[in-house]
Amino acid sequence: MQAQDHPLESFFHQAVRNSYEGKLGLNDPDVTGYVAHLLCEFSEADKLYKVRDQMGRPVAELTAMMEAADPVNGSASSFDAERSVRKHIGDYALFVAGMYPEAVESWRRRRHHHPSLGELICAGKESYFIVSQFNLFEYEREAPLFGRLSDWFERCILGLTLVRDDLGKRKVLLLPPQVN
C-alpha cells in the first residue's frame, strides 16, 4: 500500500473501504489502498492524461494509449515503459468506468472511433493482467496486486460506482478506521 501523503487519502480510503468491504465483501487492504490512492492521484486533472505523445501532448484516446504501450509495434521505448503505460491504462479504465461511465457514451457520440464501455473494461482488465506478469525483480512484490485487480476488475468498478453514489448523496457512512 502507498504512503498516505495526499490530503484526501484518508477520506478516499474510508469511502473505498466502506464500498469494497462493507458492501461488496471485497476484503483486501492492498486493493482498497491502491484504489483510494488512485482516486487521490486522479483528483489532479493532469494525472488522468499522463501518457504523452511524441510532441508532449496528453493522450486521451484508448487506442493511442494502447499504441504507446506496445514496445514492439508501438512507441514504448522499453518493457518498463510498456508496464508503466499498461498500469496507467488499467488505472484510467477503472477510474472512468467506475466514476464516470456516462462519459464514455458522450465521447462515443462525439468521436466514432472511441471505445465502448465494454471495450474500455476489457482494455483495463487486460492491462492489469499484463502488469501482473511483470513479476520479477523490482516488480515482484506488487505483481500479485495487479493480478487481483485484473481478476476483480468488474467488482472494483462496481465498488467505485458505489463510492460515487455515496459521494453524490453526501451521506457517506464510513466503517471505522482500520487498525493496522
Q: For residue range 160-172, list pLDDT tens digits in order.
A: 999 999 888 865 5
Q: Answer yes or no: is 121 within a domain.
A: yes
Provide the domain limits for residue 13.
9-169
Q: Answer yes or no: is 179 within a domain.
A: no
Residue 109 pLDDT grade (very low, low, confident, very high; cuts 50, 70, 90): low
SS3 58: strand
Exposed, middle or buried: residue 56 (CB in 10 Å: 0-12, 13-18, 19+)? exposed
pLDDT averaged over every residue in the chain:
89
Whole-angstrom distance, CA of residue 177 vs CA of residue 180: 9
Q: What is the domain count for the chain?
A: 1
Residue 136 pLDDT grade (very low, low, confident, very high; cuts 50, 70, 90): very high
Whole-angstrom distance, CA of residue 87 vs CA of residue 61: 15
Q: Answer yes or no: is 81 within a domain.
A: yes
DSSP class of 52:
B
pTM attached to this predicted model: 0.88
Q: Over range 8-27, report the average pLDDT.
A: 95
The full 3-state SS of 23-45, as one line of letters, equals HCCCCCHHHHHHHHHHHHHHCCH
Q: Answer yes or no: is 28 within a domain.
A: yes
Q: Answer yes or no: is 4 within a domain.
A: no
Q: Answer yes or no: is 174 within a domain.
A: no
DSSP class of 21:
I
Q: Answer yes or no: is 59 within a domain.
A: yes
Whole-angstrom distance, CA of residue 146 vs CA of residue 131: 6
Residue 162, Cα to own-chain centre: how many angstroms?
A: 15
Whole-angstrom distance, CA of residue 107 vs CA of residue 125: 20
pLDDT in tens, 42-87: 998 788 888 988 888 888 889 999 999 998 888 889 999 999 999 9
Q: Answer yes or no: is 101 within a domain.
A: yes
